[in-house]
Amino acid sequence: MEKSGQHVAGTSSPEAIQRWNEILDSLYDAAELLNTPQSVIKVLERPQRILEASIPLRRDNGDVEVYTGWRVHHNTARGPAKGGIRFHPDVDSLETSALAAAMTYKTSISQLPFGGGKGGVNCDPTGLSLGELERLTRRYTWEMLPLLGPDRDVPAPDVNTDGRVMGWLMDTVSMARGEESAATVTGKPLSIGGSLGHVGATASGVVTCVRAAFLLNDLTFEGARVAIQGFGKVGGPLAYLLHSAGMRVVSIADVTGAIHNPGGINVPALGEFVKESGGVVGFTGADAITNEEFWTTKCEVMIPAALALAIDSTIAEKLDARIVVEAANGPTSEAADKVFAEREIPVVPDILANAGGVTASYFEWVQNRQGYPWTSQEVATRLHDNMHNAFESVHDKTVELGVSMRRAAMAVGLERVSEAIIDRGFRF
């Protein structure tokens, strides 16, 4: 008999603890800059609610595996909780809470009428069949039902989840409630209420930020060199968009390794190659490079578009880029961020730079509630305008407070959340 019960409850990885502490530190920092009332800090320094559930899954071979899943509402003062669901072996309660907190500030910076949430299941989905993945999703959704709904909590895709998973999630909610429930979840397939322009929206939002940051730093966009870590849901479309817009995508890294071409990688050809091979390594239109060489690529902009904590202080010391734009959630450690500040390398932070995804999610939710789909042009224009306004408000804050974009972004986010908390009556 295997006895593993004692390992199930509440253990967090050092990375999750680091992520949570970092988001707390940035809250305290912004609160100091803004002189935020203590009552608001007390509300925001812990998640509003966490639902943890066991998720039993019958494997295709008949075995039963029991996973753990969470949904965290960090704060809902500005509206229903909003945020993705991830399936990953690193998922735990604290990591999910840190990501949910980031969503609170992200939705606030982009002026979306949502709070911050996040969910996930601790599992390795790469080892699951399609049927297993569907059963896992449906059971997770069932367990999280009390929290879900268009006016409570609206999930979306995140790491290792996609439109298909959102479709199963929506169907499970519809079955349980016996009613249409399109606005319960975003990032759905078009056939069941998804929005045009949702796929690739995070990448388009990053492009708006790269353009704005280039203008601000007197850099020429056309022909500029970019290195991208990640060639998945965000990094893939991003490489394609930047390449089409005239930049030179000189280095790309993914889980299989890294490649480099000083003249610019032919991104559409790489996309075709990766579809077949599953990774960038082996692509003949570029040279294989080491991870270390990837991070020291000479470029105008470095874009981490994979998982959290990719850039530590050692990498930050060696980075040879003029600016950093964070497409992933939490890719730069606090120590690395200090190095960037010392080296005067501007960083466009995640809660601003990757807000295109949740902004398109908001548009999808609005269309579902109106029962009236928008054209792709309408989505694209509004997405661009929204991202541009978010960038401007953060930039204005950097000037007003004389701080980095990361600190200013947190200040903009906190300011609006704080106002909402106070207006709800929590001034004491």
The answer to whether 291 and 273 are in contact (CB under 8 A) is no
Out of 36, 75, 160, 361, which residue is the one contacting ligand GLU (CB under 6 A)? 361
Question: Angle at CA 51, nearest 5°, toward 49 and 54?
Answer: 165
Of 143-162, binders to ligand GLU (CB under 6 A) are: 156, 158
Residues forming beta bridges with residue 332, ordered by sequence position: 311
Residue closest to ligand GLU (Cβ): 84
**Contacts with 359 (C-beta within 8 Å, 6 or more apart), sequence order:** 110, 112, 201, 205, 383, 386, 387
Query: Smallest gap, in angstroms, from Cβ of residue 100 to ligand GLU?
Result: 10
- The number of residues making up the chain comes to 428
Assess 235 for contact with ligand GLU (CB under 6 A): no
Catalytic-role residue among 82, 118, 188, 397: 118
Assess 84 for contact with ligand GLU (CB under 6 A): yes
Out of 105, 357, 368, 418, which residue is the one contacting ligand GLU (CB under 6 A)? 357
Strand pairing of 153-157 and 81-88?
A: parallel
Using the rule CB under 6 A, give the single segment among 132-140, 226-234, 237-245, 353-361 that binds ligand GLU.
Answer: 353-361
Using the rule CB under 6 A, give the single segment among 8-16, 37-45, 256-264, 352-360 that binds ligand GLU.
Answer: 352-360
Q: Toward ligand GLU, which CB reaches closer, 337 or 364? A: 364
* CB atoms inside a 10 Å sphere around CB 317: 12
If phi > 0 it is left, if psi is from -120 to 50 it is alpha, else beta; for residue 327 that is alpha
Assess 139 for contact with ligand GLU (CB under 6 A): no
Query: Smallest gap, in angstroms, from Cβ of residue 19 to ligand GLU?
Result: 13
State the Cα–Cα distance between residues 130 and 149, nearest whole angstrom. 26
Assess 167 for contact with ligand GLU (CB under 6 A): no
Query: Smallest gap, in angstroms, from Cβ of residue 355 to ligand GLU?
Result: 7
Element (H, E) at 251: strand 248-254
Using the rule CB under 6 A, give the single segment among 299-307, 355-363, 406-414, 419-427 that binds ligand GLU.
Answer: 355-363
Using the rule CB under 6 A, give the single segment among 177-185, 301-309, 354-362, 408-416 that binds ligand GLU.
Answer: 354-362
Using the rule CB under 6 A, give the single segment among 78-86, 125-133, 170-178, 299-307 that binds ligand GLU.
Answer: 78-86
Backbone angles phi, psi at 151, to 5 degrees: -105, 10
Quick note: the x/- pattern for ligand GLU over 185-204, rule CB under 6 A, is -x------------------
Q: Toward ligand GLU, which CB reaches closer, 92 or 300? A: 92
Token digits of residue 93 = 């309660």
**Active site annotation includes 233:** no
Backbone angles phi, psi at 164, to 5 degrees: -60, -45
Query: Smallest gap, in angstroms, from Cβ of residue 88 to ligand GLU?
Result: 12
C-beta contacts of 90-93 below 8 A and 24+ residues apart: 90/13, 90/15, 90/16, 90/122, 90/307, 91/120, 91/121, 91/122, 91/123, 92/11, 92/12, 92/13, 92/16, 92/68, 92/122, 93/10, 93/12, 93/50, 93/52
Assess 329 for contact with ligand GLU (CB under 6 A): yes
Query: Smallest gap, in angstroms, from Cβ of residue 89 to ligand GLU?
Result: 18
Assess 358 for contact with ligand GLU (CB under 6 A): yes
Q: Toward ligand GLU, which CB reaches closer, 82 or 397? A: 82
State the Cα–Cα distance between residues 92 and 169, nearest whole angstrom. 20
- Site residues (CB under 6 A) for ligand GLU? 82-84, 156, 158, 186, 329, 354, 357-358, 361
